[in-house]
Amino acid sequence: MSVRAVGRSILQKSPTDVIVLSAVRSPITRAFKGGFKDAWLEDVLRPDVLIGNVLAELGFAKTGRMALLDCGFPASTTFHTINRQCSSSLQAITHQAHAIMAGQFDVALAGGVESMTRNYGSRGRPTDVSPSLRASNVKQATDCLLAMGETSERVAQRYGITRQEQDDFAFQSHHRALVAWNAGKFASEIVPVTYQAPSETDKEGLLTTFTVPQDDGIRPNVRGCEPDEMGVGPALAIPALYQYMGVGQYDVGVFEINEAFASQMVYCVRALHLDVNKVNPNGGAIALGHPTGATGARQVATLLAEMQRSDHELGVVSMCAR
């Protein structure tokens, strides 16, 4: 199929399409049993469950299974986890869509969960690395050990992004999120949870997305950047997506680009010549939080709610990850 034909086809309905039934999340805070009251499927459906996670022991495999059973899923429900750094839950959605398209499942659940306060330092950046790798002569290999904040500083220095520009962007994110919250725009994506009074360090995020046959198939296309400036990834990946899907920038109604750092967001918006009013119109991770394993799914939930509210046909989710 030609690129132009693909562009036309993504807006045409087909019996083999994959649709999102519901996209909901707990508030990005400590949560026990997520509220599935608005997303629960009929008892006859037994979805496969795939959860993105970055930092937990064993990739959340055991505690995730425990949580699934505790929520009331039957023991026959299959469960597994995936780690693709900050895009883990977005990859979970992609995998489940592919599985449905391949006929493995009729319905599937994808989501993400993360605790950003349990030994994040040692899990966010490995300390026990092979001496031969640590001493590698390949700069790109050793740059993989750079702290994320350090790569953000390099983006700012390399592309001339000022502190004032970053502060202005951060303020805008918080302002938009506050306006959206007060207007009730998050009501359709945030579900109520029962929680104990948390300490200052108890913050966890959970998000789930159901997918079933119908809607456009997700077609993978990737574009990479240097490890020492990983934050600029969206500026490279989004144009590649346009080309693959046969669409133009002005066809896209809303963008959800993860705000890992203000510097990389300022760069990406500038490099892509994006309309700032289309980018994270309800605030982003700077205001809402960035639980790494859950962020991609949170972005999808926010994007779908905004697309429905504003009657947009096309939206883009992107983030930096390495």
Residue pair 234/257 in contact by the 8 Å Cβ criterion: yes
Residue pair 76/39 in contact by the 8 Å Cβ criterion: no
The residue annotated as part of the active site, out of 80, 86, 95, 98, is 86
3-state helix, strand, coil in the chain (%, to 5): 45, 15, 45
Residue pair 84/53 in contact by the 8 Å Cβ criterion: no
In degrees, rounded to 5, the angle at the alpha carbon of residue 158 between the alpha carbons of residues 154 and 162 is 85
The residue annotated as part of the active site, out of 144, 174, 273, 290, is 290
Residue pair 56/115 in contact by the 8 Å Cβ criterion: yes
Q: Is 174 a catalytic residue?
A: no
Residue 91 sits at φ, ψ, to 5 deg, of -65, -35
Q: Give, rounded to a whole angstrom, the gap between the first and last alpha carbons of the chain.
A: 31
121 to each of 133, 171, 271, 297, 311, how far by Cα in Å? 20, 27, 31, 23, 42
The residue annotated as part of the active site, out of 71, 95, 273, 320, is 320
Secondary structure class of 269 (helix, strand, coil): helix
Secondary structure class of 210 (helix, strand, coil): strand
Q: Is 86 a catalytic residue?
A: yes
Residue 250 burial (CB < 10 Å; 0-12/13-18/19+)?
A: exposed
Q: Is 312 a catalytic residue?
A: no
Annotated active-site positions, please?
Answer: 86, 290, 320
